[in-house]
A = this chain, B = another copy of it.
Amino acid sequence: MKEPYDFRTANLLGHDEQQRRLGPLRKAMSDAGFRAALVNTPANLYYLTGRVYRGYLYIAADSETVHYLVRRPNHLEGDGVHLIGKPAEINGVLADAGVPVGTEVALELGSMSYDDAMRLSRVLGLDAPSGDISPLLRAVRAVKTDAELKMLRMSGQRQTLVYERIPHLYREGMSDIEFQIEIERASRLGGCLGQFRVAGSEMEIFMGNVLTGENADTPSPYDFAMGGAGLGPSLPVGADGTIIRPGIPVMVDVNGNYTGYMTDMTRCYVCGTPNEEAVRANQLSVDICSELAGMMTPGAAASDLYHRAVEMATAAGLESNFMGHRSHAGFVGHGVGIEINELPVIAPRSRDILQAGNVIALEPKFVIPGLGAVGVENTYIVRDSGPAERITNAPQNIISLD
């Protein structure tokens, strides 16, 4: 279950893989007129070094060399590693390392707090931040390297193995949350890291979402595809203690973070015979996934994918149930990788154009009053040509719990 790693090595990617990620970022920096950048969020440090540390990564647009400005842990080693006690030491450490420190250093302004951004800017000799590296990182991370795709395929395989065990975890009389807890345990025993990395501070969830019956129609504050009242008002999303009833589907959408990279998969289960309407809506969800997978080639417009999904839902008379019922999510898919909400976004007003190496979760789901949530979610890799590669391969029909 453990993935051994050298916890002293600052760059766990190795030189070549790191440069494969830095190359497009440095080009984007040049295009944006940014001479240098400091990266500090766990997600982006993991992307650019293969590990999380507390501190900063200094990147220059015109140099392959990076500098690791490390606050913790204090044992990191490697070329360009500099231990610092506080951000105020950054300028001096870089100057000592022969880096021509100027004032133009872009920061992660999309995630760094206003207070931290102002404090760090002052350290760099500025009155205010001079550039925002966040959108560049989001764009570069949307196109995965082969090494990243390998980790995503591995997460998909492990998540599929766990999903295939789900029917065996159900016991008669269970509530949604009791069922979820057994799925959480099976996931963790299967190597799931548990952590659900989300960009931004407005989305909160624990391990995923198991929904059955009317609870699926309770709108949530969060920007997830589905809602649910949750167990209390401090985290109002997901399972609420509803007992699982014969004929009423249970939708399972739990954490696929097995490698630091997440796949996203949803399947439905039922004890007894599933209602015909549920079977029909689930099949429509599978069909929309297949249709969109065929359209997911480089150059395709994300908005076209969304509109095609709506068209198919409308043709089946399920337009008002698509992506919710009392409340509707405004997308049908999203990029996924280190975080659950990456680019591209498959939404009506998205301007994203698909590229080879995009990894996209499609989740055309339906909420049917009296029945609850039905549908599947799959994660795909956009290839150079042909339909996208599905990497979440558990059976897609409504699975029997009997």
Judge whether A12 and B233 touch: CB under 8 Å.
Answer: yes
Binds B, one of A2-10, A349-357, A394-402: A2-10
Minimum CB–CB distance from A380 to chain B (whole Å) comes to 22
Q: A283 near B: Cβ within 8 Å?
A: no
Q: What residues on B are CB-neighbors of A393 within 8 Å?
A: none
Judge whether A72 and B327 touch: CB under 8 Å.
Answer: yes
Rounded to whole angstroms, the CA-CA distance of A235 and B197 in the bound complex is: 10
**Highest count of chain B CB atoms <10 Å: which of A204, A229, A232:** A232
Q: What residues on B are CB-neighbors of A222 within 8 Å?
A: 54, 72
| Contact flags A86-127 to B (C-beta < 8 A → 1, else 0) | 000000000000000000000101111111111000000000
Minimum CB–CB distance from A12 to chain B (whole Å) comes to 5
Minimum CB–CB distance from A171 to chain B (whole Å) comes to 13
Per DSSP, are chain A's interface residues mostly helix, strand or loop, or mixed? loop
Q: Enumerate 9 A-B pairs (CB-CB under 8 Å) in ascending A order.
A: A3-B232, A53-B221, A54-B223, A72-B220, A113-B114, A128-B128, A184-B185, A195-B234, A234-B338
Q: A274 near B: Cβ within 8 Å?
A: no
Judge whether A52 and B218 touch: CB under 8 Å.
Answer: no
Q: A369 near B: Cβ within 8 Å?
A: no
Rounded to whole angstroms, the CA-CA distance of A260 and B195 in the bound complex is: 19
| Contact flags A326-345 to B (C-beta < 8 A → 1, else 0) | 11000000000010000000
List A115-145 residues whose CB lies under 8 Å from chain B.
115-118, 128-129, 132, 134
- Chain A residues bordering chain B, tally (CB within 8 A): 76
Rounded to whole angstroms, the CA-CA distance of A326 and B110 in the bound complex is: 34
Q: A74 near B: Cβ within 8 Å?
A: yes
Minimum CB–CB distance from A332 to chain B (whole Å) comes to 18
Q: A73 near B: Cβ within 8 Å?
A: yes
Q: A236 near B: Cβ within 8 Å?
A: yes
**Highest count of chain B CB atoms <10 Å: which of A111, A218, A234:** A234
Q: A256 near B: Cβ within 8 Å?
A: no
Q: A165 near B: Cβ within 8 Å?
A: no
| Contact flags A187-209 to B (C-beta < 8 A → 1, else 0) | 01101011101001110111100
Judge whether A219 and B46 touch: CB under 8 Å.
Answer: no
Rounded to whole angstroms, the CA-CA distance of A205 and B196 in the bound complex is: 10
Rounded to whole angstroms, the CA-CA distance of A184 and B7 in the bound complex is: 26
Chain copies in the assembly?
2
Q: Which residue of B lies closest to A55 (CB)?
A: B221
| Contact flags A241-272 to B (C-beta < 8 A → 1, else 0) | 10000000000000000011000000000000
Minimum CB–CB distance from A186 to chain B (whole Å) comes to 9
Q: A363 near B: Cβ within 8 Å?
A: no
Judge whether A111 and B54 touch: CB under 8 Å.
Answer: no
Q: A75 near B: Cβ within 8 Å?
A: yes
Minimum CB–CB distance from A156 to chain B (whole Å) comes to 16
Minimum CB–CB distance from A54 to chain B (whole Å) comes to 4
Minimum CB–CB distance from A187 to chain B (whole Å) comes to 9
Q: A42 near B: Cβ within 8 Å?
A: yes
Q: Which of B5, B205, B234 contacts A260 (CB 8 A)?
A: B234
Q: A1 near B: Cβ within 8 Å?
A: yes
Q: A51 near B: Cβ within 8 Å?
A: yes
Q: A300 near B: Cβ within 8 Å?
A: no
Rounded to whole angstroms, the CA-CA distance of A222 and B53 in the bound complex is: 8
Minimum CB–CB distance from A298 to chain B (whole Å) comes to 28
Q: Which of B111, B221, B241 contacts A2 (CB 8 A)?
A: B241
Q: What residues on B are CB-neighbors of A50 within 8 Å?
A: 233
Rounded to whole angstroms, the CA-CA distance of A52 and B259 in the bound complex is: 30
